[in-house]
Amino acid sequence: MREQHEATSPTGTLHPAGPLFEIEQSIRSEIAEISPFVDKLMVFIKKCQCVPGNEIDVEIALREALANSVVHGNHEDPDKRVYVDCRCLPNEEVFIAVRDEGTGFNSTEFPNPTAAEQLQLIHGRGIYLMKALMDEVHFERGGTEVHMRKKSVASADSHDR
């Protein structure tokens, strides 16, 4: 029997910039859980219209964050969970926090995956991709939680004026 994702219903609350939609879910620490979860969360993000046209960047960064949490954080232990908090402000931004139950890591001490000596390695590009695709990425709780933010193109343009 396949375990269902634990989820709370998306909530819509008022925010100074407009409606805020939030969803909190968790998955077991298994690679096979990532794609179905991301597919469902991306439907939520697309329906909320928080970053129209930039959904692929969010999807790739989310997949990388989840893979890091499942593989490196929780060591694929199915008894451990990965927790996700996603907040959408339509036409403004999406904020995603991904937290695992691992021991964490020092987020300032990871090699540049574009350096010549790193190019042949099969790991080490996830954080690089998250930082390249999202507007903000930082780590909390000793590296067990990553916070990512992507602003919509319309929002970024209006703030530049």
Model confidence band, residue 104 (pLDDT cutoffs 50, 70, 90): confident
For position 1, what pLDDT does the model report? 26
70: burial class by Cβ within 10 Å (0-12, 13-18, 19+)?
buried
Structural domains present in the chain: 7-160 (3.30.565.10)
For position 81, what pLDDT does the model report? 98
Q: Which residue has the higher pLDDT, 35 or 18?
A: 35
Model confidence band, residue 105 (pLDDT cutoffs 50, 70, 90): confident
Task: Count, in order, helices (H) and strands (E) of the chain.
Answer: 4, 7
Model confidence band, residue 123 (pLDDT cutoffs 50, 70, 90): low
Per residue in 55-71, pLDDT (tens digit) is: 999 999 999 999 999 99
Q: Using the 8-state DSSP alphabet, how is residue 93 labeled?
A: E
Model confidence band, residue 6 (pLDDT cutoffs 50, 70, 90): very low
Q: Mean of the per-residue pLDDT values for the chain?
A: 84
